[in-house]
Amino acid sequence: MNYGAVAHMPDQRYCYCLYPGRFLIRLQTGRDDLQEVKLHYRDKYIPLRLHDTRKSVHMNRVAQDHFHDYYEAEVDIDVVCLRYYFELRGFNGERMFFSNCRILSAPPQDIDRMYDLPQNLREIERFAVPQWAQNKVVYQIFPSRFATDQNVQEKKWYKAPIKSADDLQGNLRGIINRLDYLYALGVDIVYMTPIFQSNSSHKYDTIDYYTIDAGFGTTDDLIELVQRAHSMGMRVMLDAVFNHTAPEFFAFADLEKNWETSEYRDWYYCQGKPRRPKMIGVKPNYKCFSYFGGMPKLNLENPDTAQYVIDVALYWLRTAGIDGWRLDVGDEVSHYFWQKFRTAVKREFPEALIVGEIWHYAGDFLQGDTWDTVMNYPFRNAAMDFVAEASISATQFVNELGFIRGNVNNACYPILWNLIGSHDTPRALHCCGGNKNKLRLLAAMQLLLPGMPFLYYGDEVGLTGGPDPDCRRGMLWDADRQDCELFAYYQRLIRLRKKIEPFLELGLSRMTADDDTGVVAFETDACCILFHGADGSVQLPQYSGINEQITQCCFDGCLGPYQAAAFLK
Amino acid sequence: MNYGAVAHMPDQRYCYCLYPGRFLIRLQTGRDDLQEVKLHYRDKYIPLRLHDTRKSVHMNRVAQDHFHDYYEAEVDIDVVCLRYYFELRGFNGERMFFSNCRILSAPPQDIDRMYDLPQNLREIERFAVPQWAQNKVVYQIFPSRFATDQNVQEKKWYKAPIKSADDLQGNLRGIINRLDYLYALGVDIVYMTPIFQSNSSHKYDTIDYYTIDAGFGTTDDLIELVQRAHSMGMRVMLDAVFNHTAPEFFAFADLEKNWETSEYRDWYYCQGKPRRPKMIGVKPNYKCFSYFGGMPKLNLENPDTAQYVIDVALYWLRTAGIDGWRLDVGDEVSHYFWQKFRTAVKREFPEALIVGEIWHYAGDFLQGDTWDTVMNYPFRNAAMDFVAEASISATQFVNELGFIRGNVNNACYPILWNLIGSHDTPRALHCCGGNKNKLRLLAAMQLLLPGMPFLYYGDEVGLTGGPDPDCRRGMLWDADRQDCELFAYYQRLIRLRKKIEPFLELGLSRMTADDDTGVVAFETDACCILFHGADGSVQLPQYSGINEQITQCCFDGCLGPYQAAAFLK
């Protein structure tokens, strides 16, 4: 038995409240190391002689990563504190116990040597996410390049942007006019990158958080956009760029002008009067996003500054009725600020969705006290490695997703933003070397696996592009440029997603891989979804009950290159 | 190589700020599994073509537990974000890399597949503890049984308490009169269990947080106690019992009287008008400490209630000038409340020490945002198992301490309250079956190892007692009842502690065990301390430089049964 791989800690990964009275307890062990795991538990305070509260329950293996298994059990309790420990049965008859971070050869007798779960504490700290967010499809729009009502020359619109700053005159009216398109595709949430006043085309350097950029439109346009989206059953999310501003933002501008007397000294991290560097590679004398003098970093430790941006977030929730915020550079801003932010936002808008940008394992931010969920870049890494690069095997792909499943709280796991590309990465089609079969498989993965599918505008009609700014090309609107078959495939995938969503949550899910065929299978008690991550064809397994194939080809009992298929059992 | 045992997460255990610009990075691996570990790091945002910021550093093994090694490196950086990964060299020539929670066979090239350390975030979240608390000795007083200025019959005073409620008329004046005694012993911090108005002798069921219990004295007595202690260089800490109150506390009393109209409905967790159970074993219709109807649990989710008890904490810091709070049942109160509590207390009293009661691994509470440190019951478990019970080996003892060293932040590790007994456990001497040699070794362990030695009143003069209430006997004040030799031994130990404290922090510490002899060695570059946890005698190793033996016997080149010795190199 691999004792060094066994882990359980009293935190939101391993032990938490699902809803009052129901708790999830998770254990990490070595991979394929155990035959059975049991959870033993009892009331801390009631002596056995008064009432024997001891119980035990079989734990289910819910995920595997490269070197670990993850077991879970749910327990219904009504106690002050629960005491518990684990029983580990190996394949060779070995039987050990894991209690209070220790491996024991016999069950612990002293209840103070067991794990402790204070019920009230864990209930208070329950990770609560908006229920409406379950099984929704997000669509990311880069507003300056998505759609416009202006007269923009087709030649200019479709020219790949040379510089990040190239403006195509996309605007909110353009988006409003295309809501039908998004509705037809099946989108549930429209997420727009920043739309506030800024001198850049990407708008990540905000000059005024209270003004819609004049090139994009007006506050009324945003209100209209949200109302029309809502009337169609869609939600709208905006980009909260609170890590930094533009230098033209009033507080920084005041510092540049009136350093000695400015009342905004504590709004940034300046060492002396700010001097914007004239060339790249010279570090500014103030903290920035990266080292870009054009993006000075706000000091959100300053309560005034923190309150200012929190007020901005509340203002647009109130004024435009938006449904949530995506937090730009979220992982470079302290948990302390995000805790304040969450408290203020959720107090007034408990249903607002808060999604952090982070490119890494995000456990630290997924404790229930800061964000609801994150942009799932680790999903993208795994999917690209497996499908686009073919640099990892099917098993390795499953292991990568297993790591996420085993290490994040089950409240946010189903709403992780599963992306295969964004405005910050080369497009998926580009990464696939233009192979649309591969793109189709990637789309099936993001749309049919647990998580919140996150589509980057244009992927669904075959838009391609390399690294920024090329990944931000003008959206393909002319029918002769769009891959309509691909669009229909996305539509079918989304429809299928909605059909299978009640089944995704049922029972236990299992993910398995067959490295000989390159097939990954995601199964629950009610459905099975297959992803074929290789060239060639493979025979489908036999399943009883109805089944439905969702690739573009006809169903003939085979999975072709990079095809996926879904079955209801 | 045991890949399943390798772990590194972006949290306060594994990656944190020591002070602005300096960071500690820790890695867990399998025990005795690696020959060398290196940390590789670079600036996230500066492209290598502009400036090659890559560096690497050897990591030191700082601790071992039963199945893991813990490696650490400190790095000085000035970046926006640091990217890093680990190089693992096995004994058989195997060379692997650990990056972004993945084992890799080659160093990662893509910086987004490395670990990420946002410098500003980690600096903001730095775990800061009061510097005065380093190397202090705490002395716990149970006021009703420690000392009195009243005329209490000797016979009554020394009779072991039959009931928890037995009152011996101990009081603050008694403590004031005994400050000289504590000073002579070498105590730095006097910590008293609760002293506010209450009907019990233990006072853990508070009726009025603003009134000193009349049996104990007055606010003026407390002020005098603190002032006199301060004038002698000692500090004073009180017990914060905020999890629950007495039923006579005004808010609960109002609920019992005016349930329908009471404005305190949200101050507790009541299901209907509270009914105090008449017999033990019947659960009250309100949440309690344990299920004791006499200790109703406060609802600290209610901002009014939270503010009320925070005001109490601030009031006594302001009014009496106390130096900190020990938090009763700290682990059954949410982190959310303690974050508020810490923020409010530290804003006005940055030097106040906040110590939580928890009997388990406390990583969740030692993230820098709630408590400064905890009562180190895992230390007591290990010491009792090794010395009192002889149920674990010297190696296992070292492993138990190694687990703590490897899993808590280095800011709080040196100030963990290392106890061998408290008012909630049988006394150490009792656990040792009256064997004073064993008690001496336990005292040496708590006083000479890293951590804040925590003495329970009377241990130093041979006071014994079984489980509560027997562990709360009247303090031995008559010379013919005190073990004066033991007292002198404690004095010497404390003096030695002060002498070696500059050396405890120097260089790297190593803890090793010899199971043949039962000797545990704690070594730094400057000193070596030996603990002999068995009967019989063992030859001392040869050390150059001065050395000093601190047991009660004369030094003769041997360590006798349960003796300890300290050497300066």
CA dihedral B52, B58, B62, B63 (to 10 degrees): 100
User: What percentage of chain B reaches a pLDDT higher than 70?
Assistant: 96
Among all residues of chain A, which has the CA nearest to that of B359? A112
Bond preceding residue A561 cis, omega within 30 of 0:
no
Nearest 5°: phi and psi at A279? -135, 155
Q: What is the pLDDT of residue B554?
A: 34
User: Measured between beta carbons, which residues in chain A are less than 8 angstroms from residue B113?
Assistant: 381
pLDDT in tens, B213-271: 999 999 999 999 999 999 999 999 999 999 999 999 999 999 999 999 999 999 999 99
Rounded-to-integer distance, Cα B5 and Cα B30, Å: 5
Q: How many CB atoms lie within 10 A of CB A367?
A: 24
Rounded to 10 degrees, the C-alpha dihedral A217/A221/A225/A226 comes to 110
The answer to whether residues B32 and B2 touch, using CB atoms and an 8 Å cutoff, is no
Q: For residue range A278-332, list pLDDT tens digits in order.
A: 877 678 999 999 999 999 999 999 999 999 999 999 999 999 999 999 999 999 9
Tell me whether B282 touches chain A (CB under 8 Å).
no
Determine the Cα–Cα distance for residues A266 and A270; give it in Å rounded to an integer. Answer: 8
pLDDT of residue A543: 59
Of B30, B269, B361, the CB nearest to A100: B361
In B320-359, the residues whose Cβ lies within 8 Å of chain A are 331-336, 339, 359
Cβ–Cβ of B381/A113 closer than 8 Å? yes
User: To probe the interface with A, which of B116, B287, B299 has the most A CB atoms within 10 Å?
Assistant: B116
Q: What backbone torsions phi and psi does residue A542 show, to the nearest 5 degrees?
A: -90, 130
List residues bridging with A34 in a β-sheet: A90
Nearest CA in chain A to B125: A334
Longest dimension (CA), chain B: 85
Tell whether B291 is within 8 A of chain A (Cβ). yes
B positions 39-78 inside 8 Å of A (CB): 45-46, 50-51, 66-68
Percent of residues, chain A, with pLDDT higher than 90: 86
pLDDT, position A553 = 38
Q: What predicted TM-score, i.e. pTM, was given to this entire model?
A: 0.96
Q: Helix (H, G, I), strand (E, B), or coil: what is residue A225?
A: helix
Alpha-helical runs (H) found in B162-277: 172-177, 179-185, 219-231, 250-258
CB B121 within 8 A of CB A364: no
- Identify the pLDDT of residue A508: 75
Confidence at A554, pLDDT banded by 50, 70, 90: very low
CB pairs under 8 A between A and B: 140
pLDDT of the residue at A506: 54
Residues of B in contact with A356 (CB under 8 A): none
The mean pLDDT values, 10 residues at a time, for chain B of 569 residues are 97 96 98 98 94 97 96 97 98 96 96 97 98 96 96 88 78 98 98 97 96 98 98 98 98 97 97 88 90 95 98 98 98 98 98 98 95 98 98 97 95 96 98 97 95 97 95 95 96 89 72 94 86 89 56 58 84
pLDDT of residue B555: 45
- Comparing CB atoms, the residue among A118, A290, A339 nearest residue B331 is A118
Buried-exposed string A180-191: b where 16+ CB fall within 10 A, e elsewhere: ebbeebbbbbbb
Would the CB atoms of A281 and B100 count as touching at under 8 Å?
no
More confident residue, B95 or A530: B95
List B residues 221-280 in contact with A (Cβ-Cβ < 8 A): 269, 280
Any idea which residues of A carry the catalytic annotation?
328, 357
Interface of A with B in 297-326 (CB under 8 A): 297, 301
Q: Is A197 helix (H, G, I), strand (E, B) or coil?
A: strand
Whether A83 contacts A43, CB under 8 Å: yes
Residues 382-421 of A with CB under 8 A from B: 403, 407
Q: Is A563 helix (H, G, I), strand (E, B) or coil?
A: coil
Q: What is the ipTM of this complex?
A: 0.96
- Å between B364 CA and nearest CA of chain A: 6
Contact assignment for B116 to A7 by CB distance below 8 Å: no
A131-187: pLDDT as tens digits = 999 999 999 999 999 999 999 999 889 987 877 667 789 999 999 999 999 999 999
| pLDDT (tens digit per residue) in A108-121 | 999 999 999 999 99
Residues in chain A: 569
Q: Does A483 reach chain B within 8 Å, measured CB to CB?
A: no
CB contact under 8 A, A120 and B332: yes
Distance from CA of B436 to the nearest CA of A (A): 25
Q: Which residues of B are catalytic?
A: 328, 357
Q: How close, in Å, is residue B263 to chain A by CA atoms?
A: 22
| Pair A83, A41: CB distance under 8 Å | yes
> In Å, what is the CA distance from A540 to each residue of A439, A567, B367?
21, 11, 50
The pLDDT score that the predictor gives to residue A550 is: 53
Q: How many C-beta neighbours within 10 Å does residue A459 have?
A: 23
Beta strand pairing call for A235-240 and B353-356: unpaired
Residue of A nearest to B280 (CA): A50
CA of A194 vs chain B CAs: smallest distance (Å)? 22
């012993």: which residue's tokens?
Answer: B185
Mean pLDDT on A385-414: 96
Token reading at B482: 């005190």
Cβ of residue A10 closer than 8 Å to a chain B Cβ: yes
Asked if A291 reaches chain B (Cβ–Cβ under 8 Å), the answer is yes
Chain B residues whose beta carbon lies within 8 Å of the beta carbon of residue A361 = 9-10, 100-101
